[in-house]
Amino acid sequence: MAGAAVPGARGPGRGAGSPGRGAEGSGSGVGSPGRGSGGLLLGIGDDASVVSASGVSVTSVDAMVEGTHFRLGPGFSEPAEIGHRALAGALSDLAAMGARPGQAYFVLGLPQGFSEQRALELMRSAAQLARDTGTVIAGGDVVAAPVLVVSVTAVGWADDADELVTRGGARAGDLVGVTGSLGAAAAALAQMEARAPRTPAGAVALRRAAAPLPRLREGRTLAQHGIHAMIDLSDGLAADAARLGERSAVQLELRLADLPQLDGVAEVAKALGTEPWRLAAGGGEDYELCFCADPADRERLEEALSADGLAGVSWIGSAREGPPGVVLLDADGESVELEGYEHRW
């Protein structure tokens, strides 16, 4: 593609600007909305995309592989969910930097028997999320692969690098906040694997996990209001908060009892015989934002998010001097060992 976003030939992949039998050829409406949209000057249908650049670009590359990041089939993931989740993961990285969304580029690796209709379902879902977030699908590639692979490169923008937030700016004394609610992905996985029964309450987690929303507007608002550091929660709070602490050379002390839990998480945790905070802190792909801010900015940040109708914030701990990383405290103030969810190779 700037090329095709849906399958054509199953041989060697078509490059970033080749038309193939792609979105425009099939009449699907998937892909670039055309010249001039979102800075795109030339998109799907040529040898490469051309984008009008302004300021600094912020680039994230994210891949999802069948059998590692998802399972295809009834009761697990359908193509539309995979397309949405793949783009959401890449856009969430832009949100964590406080960048504006710009363009996305897809590479699809399609296994034998994966039909064009299913590929279209995947890309139509991604295209809907792109429209909802102000992102332009500007190109990509399609190749044959032994299993389904979806790789997304997302490019965001900022007028100046100083507008962006990294993992490395937290300071001792900062408050630690998190947007939205946690635990959907872990609760959903428990139900899909039949470790917990499917219930109306648990269905909330299943819906959220199938179509997570990258917190792009929240990330931009937080960055504009002077937070010190931020990370998106793709591997779980326990793992990602530790990364933020290590990068900032501070220790984050987090109160597990204060974690905001999605409706239904407590019921799934009860069925599993475990504490709800284990799902909220240990599950990956919630795609909320964890950030550090000056205590004096607490009210101002809450008001800014509320004024824009964005996800709320929960204050879950603080940063202090100490061995870099994270310390997780239970309701009794005792330290708890908990890992996040990582797709290891």
CATH of the domain at 52: 3.30.1330.10
Specify whether 130 is located in the same domain as 156. yes
CATH number for position 210: 3.90.650.10
Judged against a pLDDT cut of 80, whether residue 7 lies above it is answered with no
Cβ–Cβ under 8 Å, residues 216 and 157: no
Q: Is residue 5 part of a domain?
A: no
Q: Is residue 345 part of a domain?
A: no
Q: Which of 3-7, 53-57, 272-276, 317-321 has the lowest mean pLDDT?
A: 3-7
Residue with tokens 């269905």: 203
Specify whether 182 is located in the same domain as 254. yes
The 10s digit of each residue's pLDDT in 184-218 is 999 999 999 999 999 999 999 999 999 999 999 99
Judged against a pLDDT cut of 90, whether residue 19 lies above it is answered with no
pLDDT classification of 253: cutoffs 50, 70, 90: very high
Q: Is residue 29 part of a domain?
A: yes
pLDDT classification of 308: cutoffs 50, 70, 90: confident
Instruction: Provide the domain limits for residue 41.
Output: 23-163
Q: Which of 5-14, 42-51, 220-229 has the lowest mean pLDDT?
A: 5-14
Question: Please, what is the average pLDDT of the chain?
Answer: 90
Q: Is residue 1 part of a domain?
A: no
Give the SS3 label for residue 229.
strand
Q: Which of 28-42, 152-166, 193-207 has the lowest mean pLDDT?
A: 28-42
**Domain termination site, one of 106, 133, 163:** 163
- What single-letter amino acid sits at 177? G
Q: Is residue 13 part of a domain?
A: no
Residue with tokens 């987690």: 205
The 10s digit of each residue's pLDDT in 255-282 is 999 999 999 999 999 999 999 999 999 9
Specify whether 330 is located in the same domain as 266. yes
Judged against a pLDDT cut of 80, whether residue 26 lies above it is answered with no
- What single-letter amino acid sits at 258? D
Q: Is residue 7 part of a domain?
A: no
Q: What is the Cα–Cα distance from 317 to 120, expressed in whole angstroms? A: 44
Specify whether 145 is located in the same domain as 193. no
Q: Is residue 159 part of a domain?
A: yes
Q: What is the pLDDT of residue 339?
A: 78
**Domain termination site, one of 119, 143, 163:** 163
Specify whether 153 is located in the same domain as 189. no
Distances (CA, A) of 84 to 27, 47, 150, 259: 20, 26, 11, 26
